[in-house]
Structure 1
């Protein structure tokens, strides 16, 4: 797979299922396919909060030229400090960068 970053901004994208073949999550499959960086969430996040967070993440990543980890960190801080944001960690702390952060 020729992608530098895959963002899975749906609910529970970071969790796998335990079956006979072991723990297989979508993120693990993407890493095996050669994707160096993935953004996932281990729990359900309200759509409006995800929308705000992802807009900030992409702005930080592409316009402000931050690395992936810093772009996500700044997006989370914006959610905490912005009147539009949801202060509940369920809303802003769900997403994590797996793999290469730079």
Structure 2
């Protein structure tokens, strides 16, 4: 169940970050700021539940932060037509490799 909480925390954080981008360019900013606040609140609650379930802090935070960066970059490419260069794609691949390395290192 801890991984479900962590996945929810990641998706909530990405949704909140994308709401921040929408708030920056929308006429009706209020609804986007509500989504932003709700997304970050849900992300922290779900991350807390994942930690409470026994997930190590270093592993949980590493996966949460790195996955959030990678998914936000991909989503911003799709939703906002922002650039995603070969160098940025390499960075995302390195993030994935780093998260896998942390996860493998946590298993004894």
TM-score (norm 2): 0.30
Q: Which has the larger strand fraction?
A: 1
Q: Which has the larger helix fraction?
A: 2
TM-score (norm 1): 0.32
